[in-house]
Amino acid sequence: MIQSFITMNGYGLFVWLSFALTFLACVMIYYKTYKTLKKYEKDFAKELNKLSESERKLVLEKSKIASQVLASYNKSI
Amino acid sequence: MFKFFEPSKIFQVTSKAPKYVLFLFIIVFSIGLIEALILSPEDYKQSHAVRIMYVHVPAAWISLGIFSSITFLSITGFIFKNKNFFLIAKSLAPSGFVFNIIALVTGAIWGKPTWGTWWAWDARITSMLILCLFYAMYLISWRIYENEEKVFKVTTFITILGVINVPIIKYSVDWWNTLHQPASIKLDGGSSIHSSMLLPLMLMLLVLLLYSALILLMKYKTEIIRIKKKNIKRI
């Protein structure tokens, strides 16, 4: 039964190859997108840390996005 | 209405939504795979090769849908001078491009056992290849041009040109004699596909849609952070 599931009447190679390539492409794009996002979060947090204490406070008060990015980055480390 | 498209509002969504989308994706993906590879019947003509349809067809549909959405977003962004529409369009493009390539590659793999060839300059395949080139041009434009105004104009122009190809892809099987069969699923209800095959097809469509949503959310978040980082002292 497992044998016939794998071979699929001789079409196994085509079917498995299609599913495997689709899966691989999706995983690669997901991984690359996730890595880029984390890199940008890290860079943004670094830029924030370069600011003086008062500037940083002002940025975090004014921008909801900035405080969310920092929170997300802090969570991930 | 455009208040819903404010970056801070969407950013909140992009921060919270991915984990829920990923959770849903894993569930639907598991069920979809079982349906597509085990439970769905084999075709009386194509035997098990028909299972390739469950990745090929949804990938092609989504690549067409995403390109149409990108065009709509670019035109709307251009008319209303809303930069955010362009960012959403830019974030959608990579998954559309990948699904276009997947549709072409799995189509070639499906072609070998059913038509006896990996590739044919058939109207549907050729028009899908042209769409792939438009996706590539669109993505390259974002990399080439530094000036925002210019990139908005160029990408809108590319999408307007490219979207002409979308109905050609859809109706190519009716307008010309092609290796592809005419559409089995019609919006007016005259579908010729059995429900035992329609269910896994729709499940796999949902899987790929959820995946696209996941990539869109992460990409959009990255774009917003990139802009904020550039203007950090001006916030």
Q: Provide the domain count of chain B.
A: 1
Give pLDDT tens digits for B111-131: 999 999 999 999 999 999 999
Complete DSSP assignment for B173-214: HHHS--SSPPPS--TTS---S-HHHHHHHHHHHHHHHHHHHH
* Record: contact A18-B113, CB cut-off 8 A: no
Residue B126 tokens read as 């050729």
Contact A20/B at CB under 8 A: no
User: Does any domain span residue A61?
Assistant: yes
pLDDT recorded at residue B176: 87
The mean predicted confidence, pLDDT, of chain B is 91
Give percent above pLDDT 90 in chain B. Answer: 72
Q: Is A34 on the interface with B (CB under 8 A)?
A: yes
What average pLDDT does range B129-156 have in this prediction? Answer: 96
Contacts of B98 in chain A (CB under 8 A): 25-26, 29
pLDDT grade for B179, boundaries at 50, 70 and 90 = confident
Q: Which pLDDT does position B231 carry in this prediction?
A: 74
Q: Residue B211 is nearest to which of A26, A43, A69, comparing CB atoms?
A: A26
Q: In this structure, is residue B140 part of a structural domain?
A: yes
Q: What are phi and psi of B47, to 5 degrees?
A: 55, -135
Q: What three-state secondary structure class fits B64?
A: helix
Range of the domain at B91: 2-179+194-227
Q: Are B110 and A18 in contact (CB under 8 A)?
A: yes
Residues 32-51, chain B, touching A (beta carbon < 8 A) = 33, 37-38, 42, 47-49, 51
User: Per-residue pLDDT for A45 more than 80?
Assistant: yes
Residue B147: pLDDT over 80: yes
Mean pLDDT across B54-63:
97
A18 occurs within a structural domain: no
Residues of chain B with Cβ-Cβ distance to A33 below 8 Å are 94, 215, 218-219, 222
Residues of A in contact with B8 (CB under 8 A): 64-65
Interface touch A47/B232, C-beta < 8 Å: yes
Please indicate, yes or no, if residue B188 is contained in any of the structural domains: no
The answer to whether residue B212 is domain-embedded is yes
Tally DSSP H helices, then E strands, for chain A: 4, 0
Overall average pLDDT of the A1-24 stretch: 93
- At B3 the pLDDT is 62
Domain boundaries, position A38: 34-77
Q: Quick check: A70 pLDDT over 80? A: no
Residues in B touching A35 (Cβ below 8 Å): none
Residue B61 has pLDDT above 70, yes or no: yes
Spell out which residues of chain B touch residue A18, defining contact as CB-CB under 8 Å: 51-52, 55-56, 105-106, 109-110
Among the partner-chain residues B33, B56, B219, the one whose CB lies closest to the CB of A18 is B56
pLDDT-based confidence at B1, cuts 50/70/90?
Answer: low
Distance from CA of A77 to the nearest CA of B (A): 16
Does residue A15 lie in a domain region? no
| B234: in domain | no
Query: Distance from B219 to chain A by nearest Cα, in Å?
Result: 7
Q: Whole-model pTM?
A: 0.91
Q: How confident is the model at residue A48 (pLDDT cuts 50, 70, 90)?
A: confident
Q: How far apart are the first and last CA of chain A?
A: 47
Q: Which residues of A touch B113 (CB under 8 A)?
A: 11, 14
> Residue B231 gets which letter from DSSP?
T
User: Average pLDDT in the A41-49 region?
Assistant: 87
Which residues of chain B make contact with A6, given a CB cutoff of 8 A? none
What is the pLDDT, as a whole number, of residue B4? 62
- For residues A4-15, average pLDDT: 92
> How confident is the model over B55-81, as a mean pLDDT?
96
B135-143's contacts with Cβ under 8 Å and 24+ in sequence apart are B135/B63, B135/B67, B135/B93, B135/B96, B135/B97, B135/B100, B135/B162, B136/B97, B137/B162, B138/B70, B138/B93, B138/B162, B139/B93, B139/B94, B139/B97, B142/B90, B142/B93
Give me the percent of chain B exceeding a pLDDT of 70. Answer: 94
pLDDT for the residue numbered B235 = 58
Q: Is residue A13 part of a domain?
A: no
Classify residue B85: in a domain, yes or no: yes
CA angle B218, B13, B28 (to 5 degrees): 70
- Read off the DSSP letter of residue B42: P
Per-residue pLDDT tens for A51-61? 888 877 877 77
Per the listing, tokens 């480390």 go with A77
Which of B101, B109, B214 lies nearest to residue A14, judging by beta carbons? B109
**Does some domain include residue A59?**
yes
Amino acid identity, position B58: P
Total structural domains within chain A: 1
Neighbouring CB atoms inside 10 A of B109's CB total 22
Q: Which of B132, B115, B129 is nearest to B52 (CA)?
A: B115
Interface check B16 vs A, CB under 8 A: no
Contact between B68 and B166 under an 8 Å Cβ cutoff? The reply is yes
